[in-house]
Amino acid sequence: MINIKCSLNYVLVKKLITGKTAVVGIMGDPVEHSLSPPMHNAAFKHLKMDYVYVPFHVEHGDLGCAIDGARSMGIKGLNITIPHKTEVTNYLNEITQTAQLIGAVNTLKFDKTTISGYNTDGVGAVKAIEEITSINGKKIIIMGAGGAARAISFQLLFNGAGEVLIANRTMKKACKLTDELRKNFNGSISCLGLNTKLNEELKDADVLINTTPVGMHPNEDQKPMVTSDMMHRDLIVNDIVYNPLKTGLLREAEKAGAKTIPGTKMLIYQGMESFRIWTGITPPVEIFEKALMTGLGYKS
């Protein structure tokens, strides 16, 4: 039996649901604490769109049945989160080139006969950086070699980054990712450990992105892998961790006079891209941001 829990109470007090209301949502395990519903529902309300965004708790092993059920019920689109981002590719009719390269999907769009898969994680990271600078031709160092690093590195190269370096505690894992990147992209792509070589590469780097959980709640006091003495004033530092809002890495960046990008930015922009895929409309960034900050407990 599929264990799907729909948190409808939130939306019912905010909106009248009718037979014409279009349904989108998120599937994952866990999913109860997702911050996507308040962001999307705030945008639907602001734009006066008859849509509702609902979280669905789908356990491992039940994804195929859940996707079939979503299609049968006429759901328009879904976000897919842990642990289903890779498995979901088995149930799609179409998948974008970027999502194919990344090997993971976080957004589905349902048409009458087709389920299409996208990955908006990398798009979110790129758009967050492009608030400050173009990534075209830039030297970018990514700390970590997991799923987030993979999505972001492929998207950066797809969008014209000049040089990408993957830095990871386990260098073998970093080099495995760079080998896959080299198969698909030309340009300067390399791997390194978290050692003195990283210090050297940071001297002329344009952007540093942390994709590891170092400093994430409840381990806020964890020492960041890069400290202020390793940074320079022209560096842009992006930590995709969004809880806490200001991580140890971002505090170190501020000490060095570097520009900082909090993890909330990637979360906002990847959600906005999903919204655009489903509706054809790009929602106002300030609406997503206000809803997210409220959800995180920060006053607007």
In the chain, pLDDT over 90 holds for what percent of residues? 88
107-160 pLDDT, tens digit per residue, is 999 998 999 999 999 999 999 999 999 999 999 999 999 999 999 999 999 999
What is the Cα–Cα distance from 160 to 153, expressed in whole angstroms?
11
Q: What is the pLDDT of residue 14?
A: 56
Cα–Cα distance for residue pair 248/226, rounded to 1 Å: 9
| Average pLDDT of the residues of the chain | 93
Q: What share of the chain has pLDDT > 70, as a percent?
A: 95
Instruction: For residues 202 and 188, give the distance between their C-alpha atoms in angstroms, rounded to a whole number.
Output: 15
287: tokens are 């609406």
Higher pLDDT, 221 or 66: 66
Measured CA to CA in angstroms, residue 231 lies from 37, 162, 196 at distances of 37, 20, 13
Nearest to 29 by CA among 60, 8, 52, 6: 60
Which residues, 6+ apart, have CB-to-CB distance to 163 below 8 Å? 138, 139, 140, 187, 188, 189
Q: Is 205 exposed, middle or buried (0-12, 13-18, 19+ CB in 10 A)?
A: buried
Read off the pLDDT band of 16 (50, 70, 90): confident
Active-site positions?
A: 85
| Topology of the domain covering 123-261 | Rossmann fold (3.40.50)
What's the mean pLDDT in 196-214? 96
Identical fold between 8-119+265-295 and 123-261: yes
Q: How far apart are CA 42 and CA 44, in angstroms?
A: 6
Cα 146 to Cα 173: distance, rounded to the nearest angstrom: 8
- Alpha helix segments (H runs only) across the chain: 8-12, 36-46, 63-72, 97-102, 121-129, 147-158, 171-184, 196-202, 248-255, 263-279, 285-295
Instruction: Report CA-CA distances (Å) from 246 to 95, 179, 226, 243, 287.
Output: 35, 33, 15, 8, 21
Rounded to the nearest angstrom, the gap between the alpha carbon of residue 87 and the centroid of all alpha carbons in its chain is: 18
Which distant-in-sequence residues (6+ apart) come within 8 Å of 202 by Cβ? Answer: 141, 208, 226, 230, 231, 232, 235
Is residue 163 over pLDDT 70? yes
- Pairing state between β 139-143 and 115-118: unpaired
Residue 235 near residue 208 (C-beta atoms within 8 A): yes
Rounded to whole angstroms, the Cα distance separating 85 from 118 reads 10
b/e per residue 136-145 (b: at least 16 CB within 10 A)? eebbbbbbbb
CATH of domain 8-119+265-295: 3.40.50.10860
Task: Map tokens 């349904």 to a residue.
Answer: 23
Label residue 137 left, alpha or beta by phi (over 0 means left) and psi (-120 to 50 means alpha): left
252-271 pLDDT per residue, tens: 999 999 999 999 999 999 99
Boundaries of every domain in the chain = 8-119+265-295, 123-261
Q: What is the mean pLDDT of residues 284-288?
A: 97
Q: Rounded distance, CA 123 to CA 156, Å?
A: 8
